Structure 1
Amino acid sequence: MSSKVYITTQIKSTSNITIFAVPKSFHGDIGIIQRNAILSWSLLKPKPEIILLGDENGTKRIADEFNIIHLSSIKCNHLGTPMLDDVFAKTKKIASNKILAYVNSDIILTQDFSTTVQQVATNFSEFLLIGRRWNIDLKTAIDFRDLNLEKKLKKLIWDRGILASETAKDYFVFPKHLFSEMPEFAIGRGYWDNWMVNRALEKSYPVIDGSQTIFALHQNHSYTHVRGSKTEAYFGKEAERNKVIGKVEKSGSIGISNYQTKPFHLSRLPRVSVVIFDLDERIVQKINDILSRESIEVEFLLIATDRAKEKHIIDRLHFPKISKVFREKENELVTKNRAIEIAKGEFIVFLKGDCCLLPGMLNKQVSYFDDRSSTVDVLLSGWQRGEGETVLELEPWKLLPDLEDIHIWKFWQLWQPLRESAIMFRRDRLEMFGGFDPRLHPVAANIEVVLRMVLLRGSKVAWLPEATCHCDREREDWENVVAMASDIESVVNCFFERSLVPEWMRELESRARYHVMVWLGWLMYEAGEKERMAEYLGRSLSYSPYQTQQTAVSWVQRFKKFAESSGEELGERSALDLLLKYFDIAEGR
């Protein structure tokens, strides 16, 4: 479990640090990107010492322009790639500060970097500070004279930033006396960053994840400077050599950090906000159970849908840290988004009226997040239903074990495992990424927000493979399967209309819609809605990558798979019946 390092943003940074980097050639977009980054470093307060190493085109010119140190002569391998051990050794010889920061030359830093570094260095004599970055498309020169620039950059992250993987590390901050020896790694190739993390842990240096207090902006760029592009940089011969000489066997990801920075607040904030819907006479018992069984700080937000009817229940509640949110006649999802804004917890859970939390499960969920530092934003779990000896434990992770492989065209797999009361969100990320889409059915909105956070904003979703709540109803459902199908379509439409959908994903839109239409056909087949089944299968034809006959074969294959996932079997007779029904209905129209 990672320990907390609280950072007070109001404290002005006074400590000097040395930032060093090895820029690429300053031409085209990468020239603009690197200039933006280096200029941002030069404006930090107090102004850091900056050392640029290497003789790539434009490096000396930029160093002269910004009045910063330039070391042109560094050791390179036979392919001309700079060697990390020489870069670190030469920097240490001339650096005038005790704290060093190796930063990739496409990373924009803001004042929170200096603030975090100073307070970490005050608390630790030895450490390695790393963190996740935010990817943004920014290929124009930034006007750093703008007094509101930091606010604008953070709004850009808020609106369009995409979290990079926990394996991507772009800054390494450490005291000068550490890492005095290292293998001859090739810079800009894979595995040396993993070695840094693993080496620090082997030496018992605190490895600190600064992601929650440092907003590092990575300006997206191509990899034309590397023969073989990005794949070669990460997995090519030079990367493989890095792995061998560094004996890199562990991942070295940010997720294995043993400390993480957190913003400091004068008043103690709750770890979890529990939002409770559908208030009834059991609410007092629900809250008592949570307070008596959880050791972490919890706050409650009660959503009252009928002020007059539920007022007598609310008036009887005298627990600490309870907020009342009156929904009146507004959309349920609008109310949930208001609750997200009002809530103060680091994490948030939405508890429906028919569900109660199982003992100690908030503690378990929060511990899961803490064990993985800042890298998980959504935690899914199972649930129970039934009473006494007939209690049934639902294990949805068995339906979708590989959450790393979530895709919009695997939509049908994601629909079944999610239950609102069995999901815990990192609250600030849920708010940052826009909360729930009020245009959708509440259950559909849960699916859409997970898809959006994971596929469009870089969040990581994980399983806690046990039940965290008990629910009376078999499942959250619609009035009928027809209404459900309509909402499923709405999720797909809402997803693809978002401007953040990347081009490579848009190219797969037809594939996604094809699979969804076939799945909806299956739902109608199961419900006995044969005409609607034919309608959805007919609509799938316009998205199918196959000829009509091949498409029909694909339907049967998909239906068999859907049946297997439900523990059923679709025999050949049923499959033939399916096709005959489709073509009979289609011809009769």
Structure 2
Amino acid sequence: MEFANVEPLVGVIIPTYNCDRYIEQAIESVLQQEGCTYEIIVIDDGSTDSTEKILAPYTERYSDRFRYIRQKNQGVAAARNHGIAVARADLIAFLDADDYFLPGKLARQAEILTKRPDLGIVHSGWQRVDMQGNKLLDVCPWEQIPELDLENWLRWKPVLPSAMMFRREWLQYVGGFDKRFPPAEDTDLVLKLALHGCKTTWLRQITVGYRQHGESAMHKGLPQARSLCAVTDNFFAQPNLPGNVRLMEQSVRYGTLVWIAWYLHHTGHHQETTEYLQQAWEYRPHSGMETVINWIESFAEFARNWGVEFDVNNLTSSEEWQELIQWIIQTTSIGGQNTELII
């Protein structure tokens, strides 16, 4: 496709920081996209590895569609916002430097947004892959969440920027990503957009390879947990929330804290797992024993959705879990019940 002197339909913003191992695959996956014009904007957030050297040939060879911009290290939110500010296209696709697009991603999402001016976001599915790009699991969130309205964003938070495409004017309207909430600034953004009336639909297709490795944001257990709590606190601190949303606060907080607890268990933070379950206890919708059973069932479901094994005995036989059960027994009337099922 000829790009010279043609305004791009889609701006692909790739924030990167010391990701020279994967950045080429990310860029090549964009260059292989067909069916729409695009620009590639790489925002290098102060990398100290060989990123600049690797990308130099792209700047020369694809000068009609490729820009490489370095900035002082400020975090991924600032890098993405920088990309939004300099983009020429009306539609924006984000691509983390360790992810990659699958064929047809840009054209199919852009087609939906072009035909549907009422929409601000098109979301899609993704494929979890390992460090080498080998498939681990297909994730099709629409099977569980067919409608992406504010209530479902709050309850489920199926956010992955690399799988999404945004209308640029909506991103500008809400001020882009908030630097206060790394690494959950993407969840904060989507909640802001939905609260302001931005509509989302699904492209029911796997469009992205989402790489799982030790340095990815989703493997940073404690920062992710604290950030997601901060985003939830910030959202419900707003004074003029719709009444139906305000009524959801207790259940949203409970569900969020239980998911965080599972995530911390999954990433090896066992003491913090029980601390977040103690917080979830304050918002429980069930009786004491039912709540503990719900935790175990939720952990099993989250693990299944994540494509990993869940060993219930490993959880319930741990010292931290036993201490948690004793805490429950001491602080509630559950001590008078048969606790054999939960110990």
TM-score class normalised by the smaller sequence: 0.7 to 0.9
Residues 391-412 of structure 1 show CA distances to partners (whole Å, capped at 9, x for unaligned) of 345223256332345527954x
Residue 435 (structure 1) shift: 1.1
Residues 412-456 of structure 1 show CA distances to partners (whole Å, capped at 9, x for unaligned) of x32xx43332121111111212211111123x11122112212x1
Which residue of 1 is the match for residue 101 of structure 2?
357
- The one-letter code of the counterpart of 2:165 is M
Which residue of 1 is the match for residue 167 of structure 2?
426
Which residue of 1 is the match for residue 125 of structure 2?
382
Residues 251-274 of structure 1 show CA distances to partners (whole Å, capped at 9, x for unaligned) of xxxxxxxxxxxxxxxx85311001
Decide whether the 8 Å contact of 1:399 with 1:565 is kept in 2. Answer: no
- The one-letter code of the counterpart of 2:135 is V
Match of 2:201 among 447, 462, 466: 462
Decide whether the 8 Å contact of 2:25 with 2:100 is kept in 1. Answer: no
Which residue of 2 is the match for residue 536 of structure 1?
276
2:325 is the counterpart of 1:583: yes
CA RMSD between the two structures? 3.7
SS of alignment partner, residue 43 of structure 2? strand
Change (3 A) 1:349 1:405: closer
The residue correspondences of 1:32-47 to structure 2 (distance < 5 A) are none
Change (3 A) 1:527 1:390: closer
Which residue of 1 is the match for residue 90 of structure 2?
346
Match of 2:297 among 560, 564, 576: 560
- The one-letter code of the counterpart of 1:270 is P
Change (3 A) 1:480 1:587: farther
2:178 is the counterpart of 1:441: no
Which protein has the bigger helix share? 2
Which residue of 2 is the match for residue 496 of structure 1?
236
Match of 1:273 among 3, 6, 11: 11
Question: Greater CA radius of gyration, 1 or 2?
Answer: 1
> d(CA) in 2 for partners of 1:492 and 1:367?
33
> d(CA) in 2 for partners of 1:524 and 1:480?
9
Residue 464 (structure 1) shift: 1.6
Decide whether the 8 Å contact of 1:409 with 1:515 is kept in 2. Answer: no
SS of alignment partner, residue 353 of structure 1? coil
Change (3 A) 1:498 1:268: farther
Residue 522 (structure 1) shift: 3.4
The answer for unaligned runs of 5 or more in structure 2 is: 332-343
Change (3 A) 1:535 1:516: same
Which residue of 2 is the match for residue 231 of structure 1?
none
Residues 264-294 of structure 1 show CA distances to partners (whole Å, capped at 9, x for unaligned) of xxx8531100112336487677556534542
SS of alignment partner, residue 209 of structure 2? strand
SS of alignment partner, residue 329 of structure 1? coil
> d(CA) in 2 for partners of 1:473 and 1:576?
28
Change (3 A) 1:556 1:397: same
Residues 283-316 of structure 1 show CA distances to partners (whole Å, capped at 9, x for unaligned) of 6775565345423111111112337854444543
Q: Which has the higher contact order (CA 8 A, sep 6+)?
A: 2
Match of 1:473 among 212, 220, 244: 212
> d(CA) in 2 for partners of 1:302 and 1:580?
49
The residue correspondences of 1:168-317 to structure 2 (distance < 5 A) are 269-278=7-16, 280=20, 287=27, 290-291=30-31, 293-306=33-46, 310-316=51-57, 317=59
Match of 2:259 among 519, 524, 548: 519
TM-score (norm 1): 0.46
Which residue of 2 is the match for residue 506 of structure 1?
246
Change (3 A) 1:569 1:332: closer
TM-score (norm 2): 0.75
- The one-letter code of the counterpart of 1:441 is P
Residue 572 (structure 1) shift: 10
Residue 586 (structure 1) shift: 6.0
Residue 331 (structure 1) shift: 2.7
Residue 569 (structure 1) shift: 7.1
Decide whether the 8 Å contact of 1:277 with 1:353 is kept in 2. Answer: yes
- The one-letter code of the counterpart of 2:235 is F
> d(CA) in 2 for partners of 1:389 and 1:563?
26
Which residue of 2 is the match for residue 485 of structure 1?
225
SS of alignment partner, residue 402 of structure 1? coil
2:146 is the counterpart of 1:402: yes
Number of residue pairs matched by the alignment: 314
Residues 509-543 of structure 1 show CA distances to partners (whole Å, capped at 9, x for unaligned) of 23322332233333345556454333223223433
Residue 478 (structure 1) shift: 4.6
Decide whether the 8 Å contact of 1:531 with 1:585 is kept in 2. Answer: no
SS of alignment partner, residue 119 of structure 2? coil
Which residue of 2 is the match for residue 173 of structure 1?
none
> d(CA) in 2 for partners of 1:551 and 1:388?
44
Residue 356 (structure 1) shift: 2.3
Q: Percent same amino acid among aligned pairs?
A: 25
SS of alignment partner, residue 359 of structure 1? coil
> d(CA) in 2 for partners of 1:383 and 1:587?
42
Residue 545 (structure 1) shift: 5.2
The residue correspondences of 1:9-20 to structure 2 (distance < 5 A) are none
- The one-letter code of the counterpart of 2:74 is E
Decide whether the 8 Å contact of 1:281 with 1:313 is kept in 2. Answer: no
> d(CA) in 1 for partners of 2:312 and 2:231?
31
Decide whether the 8 Å contact of 1:273 with 1:347 is kept in 2. Answer: yes
Which residue of 2 is the match for residue 108 of structure 1?
none
> d(CA) in 2 for partners of 1:281 and 1:559?
38
Decide whether the 8 Å contact of 1:382 with 1:393 is kept in 2. Answer: no
Residue 459 (structure 1) shift: 1.5
SS of alignment partner, residue 430 of structure 1? helix
Residues 9-60 of structure 1 show CA distances to partners (whole Å, capped at 9, x for unaligned) of xxxxxxxxxxxxxxxxxxxxxxxxxxxxxxxxxxxxxxxxxxxxxxxxxxxx
Decide whether the 8 Å contact of 2:91 with 2:165 is kept in 1. Answer: yes
